[in-house]
Amino acid sequence: MRTATFSVDPDALRHNLAVARRAAPNSRVVAVIKANGYGHGALRVARALAGDADRFAVARMEEALVLREGGVTQPILLLSGALEPADVELAATHDLELEVHSAWQVELLERSRPERPVVTWLKVDSGMHRVGVALGDARALWQRLAEAPAVAGAPRLMTHFACADEPDNPHTTAQIEAFDAVTAGLDAERSLANSGGVLNWPASHADWIRPGIMLYGGTARVGRLGPDLDLRPAMNLDTQLVAVYPRHKGDTVGYGAAGVCPDDMPVGVAAIGYADGYPRHARQGTPVLVNGRRAALLGRVSMDMITIDLRAAPDAKPGDPVRLWGEGLPADEVAECCGTIAYELFCRVAPRVAYREPGA
């Protein structure tokens, strides 16, 4: 079937989680599988990592319930926290742990009487300035949570980094210092590190690390690709050539006549386009693998097709395999050619792209 498909390698996911553990040997692991496991399939990822992760984190209640319905039994941290009173009940029923990022969520918990108390993680804003309680309010809010009947045990403490993928950025040092100072002496487990923190900031490892992108093989350090950090791509996005045409030097290719053949050369057409989630703004020259060899995008990405300069794979013929990213072609590298990050490429793989078992 000549349409785009993707596969996910469970061994790569487990390998990448082991890389995180090696980097932070004294920390437990919250595997972040929000946004449908960064597009890889949340249940698929949770099942692959069931024996390796200490718990999972998702962004929304619906995502947590999908995992529970799918038989995932580990604790799940809900990063949005409770948005309404019913969420506290659901958390108690389904063994979900709640992030608490605002004073109004503390009040919501204070008013709740769930059937049993829930584990909470108070998010402190140490300098990212997105969500999180202000440094000056953190201790008092932690105390209030600790006293709330709806809250199980000592509330945990967490923060999130703005720049952890930059190994020398003093912003992260300042965030770690601010978090450590304001939480000093509180008897609570702590979590600071996303993937960037895991790989670049040992001082941030604490009790719990929260790797996301690195589990999927994406980079967490600027200027490096996933494979440079011993991370293996978990997702392969593949399709096939549907046509190959000989073109002449100066011929234009595709919409806007934007591709110009620099030579007499074969041009391939592959069955994938922006309707599959391959970004329309991928610039000419973006690498693709044809028969395992690096070829380059020529002209604009269409809805269902791309056109490829086949000079690097001159024998390629219709039906031959084309890889958009994965083993042999890091999504980080493709993302750079699209002015984005691998996170977005993964999340945008469209529902019409069918899943294919690895090796099938």
Ligand X SMILES: *Cc1c(COP(=O)(O)O)cnc(C)c1O
Site residue total, ligand X (CB under 6 A): 11
| Paired sense of beta strands 156-158 and 190-191, if any | parallel
CA dihedral (136, 141, 144, 150) in degrees, to 10, reads -170
**DSSP 8-state class, residue 216:** G
Footprint (CB under 6 A) of ligand X, residues 125-154: none
Other C-beta atoms within 10 Å of 340: how many? 15
211 binds ligand X (CB under 6 A): yes
- Measured in degrees and rounded to the nearest 5, phi and psi for residue 306 equal -125, 160
Nearer to ligand X by Cβ, of 160 and 232: the residue is: 160
Q: Interface with ligand X includes 32 (CB under 6 A)?
A: yes
Q: Using the rule CB under 6 A, is 101 a contact of ligand X? A: no
C-beta separation of 279 from 348 below 8 A:
yes
Helix (H) or strand (E) holding 18: helix 10-23
Instruction: Clarify whether 34 is annotated catalytic.
Output: yes
Interface with ligand X, residue 160, by CB under 6 A = yes
The 3-class secondary structure across 130-183, one letter per residue, is CCCECHHHHHHHHHHHHHCCCECCCCEEECCCCCCCCCCCHHHHHHHHHHHHHH
Binder to ligand X among 33, 45, 67, 79 (CB under 6 A)?
Answer: 79
Give 36's Cβ-side CA count (13 Å radius): 11
Nearer to ligand X, 138 or 305 (CB): 138
Name every residue whose Cβ is closer than 8 Å to that of residue 221 and which is 6 or more positions away in sequence.
165, 166, 167, 196, 199, 200, 229
Tell me which residue has its CB nearest to ligand X.
212
Among 7, 195, 236, 240, binds ligand X (CB under 6 A): 195
123 is catalytic: no
Shortest Å distance, C-beta 342 to ligand X: 10
What does the alpha-carbon distance between residue 3 and residue 152 come to, in Å, rounded to a whole number?
Answer: 50
Q: How far is the CB of 162 from ligand X (least distance, A)?
A: 11
4 vs 335, beta carbon nearer ligand X: 335
210 is an interface residue for ligand X by CB under 6 A:
yes
Active-site residue, selected from the candidate residues 123, 245, 249, 255: 255
Least CB distance to ligand X at residue 159 (A) = 9
Output the smallest distance, CB 320 to ligand X, in A. 34
Q: Does 81 bind ligand X (CB under 6 A)?
A: no
Q: Are 128 and 161 in contact (CB under 8 A)?
A: yes
By the rule CB under 6 A, 213 interacts with ligand X: yes
Catalytic entry in 34, 38, 123, 343: 34
Q: Which residues bind ligand X (CB under 6 A)?
A: 32, 34, 79, 160, 194-196, 210-213
